[in-house]
Structure 1
Amino acid sequence: MKSVQVLLCLVLLLFCTSEAAKTSKSGKAKTAKVAKLKKSEVTDSRDKQKYRTVKIADREWFADNLNLNVPNSYCYAEDENNCMAYGRLYTWEAAIQACPAGYRLPTDEDFESLWTAAGADFNVAYLLKTDYGWSGETNGNDTLKFSAMPAGNRFDDGNYGNLSKIAFFWSASAEGEEANVWYMSSKSMGFSYMTKPKTFGFSVRCVK
């Protein structure tokens, strides 16, 4: 009888050891996955503002909207608090030269890379949006730490709109008087682009 009890104890000990090893391996995998998405930080030498950055695929993105005060850039509704929360809104001509040294305004190819990294489907914005601030209960979960904020836009007549509803990002890809702008809205989890006049004011995300 004692030999049977000893045998059972040995079996249970081996089982528990095996399960602990599996848990340990699983925990390491999860930690490694999170580490790959860990944000870093860069300081803009021009005005000493700090921006979070995140590596997504083979590109390093700003995880905040640019907030450098240059000509033809604006705070939403002329309110400095909106600049602190959402960054500034730039005309395309201001945006194309606003990023700090080592970074640049993203091209359509850069945004397509971001779209692919987020799943290349109709729900990619869920992985790119912040988990707060979006109207209509369409927050994301910010899995990729891109932290897209619905900063709205400035129209070319000087009016503002779409705060808490749409995140617009200028693309460097342009032709004539218009340029592409990539956007996410509170109406869906899609991420796409459209063409707008370069005189509109939209957010800027820098990339390298």
Structure 2
Amino acid sequence: MIIKYLLKQRRTDTLQALFTLLLLSSFTACKKEQESQPAPQVPSVSVVHVGGRDYTTRTIGKHTWTTINYDGPGGVPYRPGNEKPEYGRYYTLEEASAIALPAGWRLPTRQDYTALAESQGVVFTKNRATGQEAIKKMTSTANWRTVRGTNTSGFDAHPAGYSFRNGEPMDGDISEFWTADGSTFSIQERATGDAYTILFYASDSPAYRFNLRFVKDN
């Protein structure tokens, strides 16, 4: 009887040890699997304070950009009452150049806008990009007449148009921003209504007003 008891107890101890070993192996495997999973990539989004209000920013490529059209002092609104606040306001180059920005921030250059587009896969030929699907990554999902953007970059360019001689802008097919050198960066719907084109214009006439974004180096 004693021998039978000891044998039974030994089998029980062995089974318990095996069960414990299985539990430890399972825990270790799960832990390794969890540790090997890459951390989720969270977009770098913050705010910058300019002209009395906060503007959301996002890191895109090698720069950090404001992702809302400037709506500070001066300039002219889209319409009386400004029923599309996402369009912000429209400024002359002189007004744009006089805006006081926090340290590190600036009015973008043509090169900054080119780098922004290229970070999304846009390819330029002589400062022009035509009919490329990648341009949609920079444009808003709303307000465009026929081509809907995807805004996967977070830049969120709305078709606010521009103002000439303080007239009301014609919106729906052009998103255009001042550059520091007096040219403009323009995203336009093609006449065919099936794609976008990016162009740079020399538009430093005081009769024109365009939207503003700001940028800083990372």
Q: CA deviation at 1:149?
A: 0.9
Q: 1:123 to 1:194 in 2, by over 3 A?
A: farther
Name the amino acid aligned to 1:64. Answer: I
> Given that residues 152 and 160 in structure 1 are in contact (C-alpha distance below 8 angstroms), is that contact kept between their aligned partners in structure 2?
no
Secondary structure at the counterpart of residue 80 of structure 1:
coil
Larger Cα-atom Rg: 2
The answer to whether the 8 Å contact 2:68/2:86 transfers is no
Which consecutive unaligned segments of at least 5 residues does structure 1 have?
1-13, 174-178
Out of 187, 195, 200, the residue aligned to residue 202 of structure 2 is: 195
Instruction: Provide the residue aligned with 2:115 in structure 1.
Output: 113
Residue aligned with 2:70, SS? coil
User: Normalization by structure 1: what TM-score?
Assistant: 0.74
Offset from partner CA, 1:68-116 (integer Å, 9 cap, x none): 112xx1102344334x231110001111222522211101111111021
Cα distance in 1 between the residues matched to 2:86 and 2:63 = 24
Displacement of 1:42:
2.0
Q: Give the structure 2 partner of residue 41 of structure 1.
A: 47
Change (3 A) 1:170 1:134: same
SS in structure 2 at match of 1:77: coil
Aligned-partner Cα distance in 1 for 2:107–2:97: 6
Query: Structure 2 length normalisation: TM-score?
Result: 0.71
State the partner residue of 1:160: 168
Query: In the alignment, does 2:188 pair up with 1:180?
Result: no
Q: Which residue of 1 aligns with 2:101?
A: 100
Q: Which amino acid aligns with 2:60?
A: I
Q: How many residues align?
A: 174
Q: What is the CA–CA distance in structure 2 between the aligned matches of 1:108 and 1:141, rounded to whole Å?
A: 23
Q: Which of 129, 145, 149 lines up with 2:154 in the alignment?
A: 145
CA–CA distance in structure 2, aligned partners of residues 43 and 99 of structure 1 = 11
User: CA offsets, 1:95-151, max 9 Å, x none?
Assistant: 122252221110111111102101123333201001111111x12111110011111
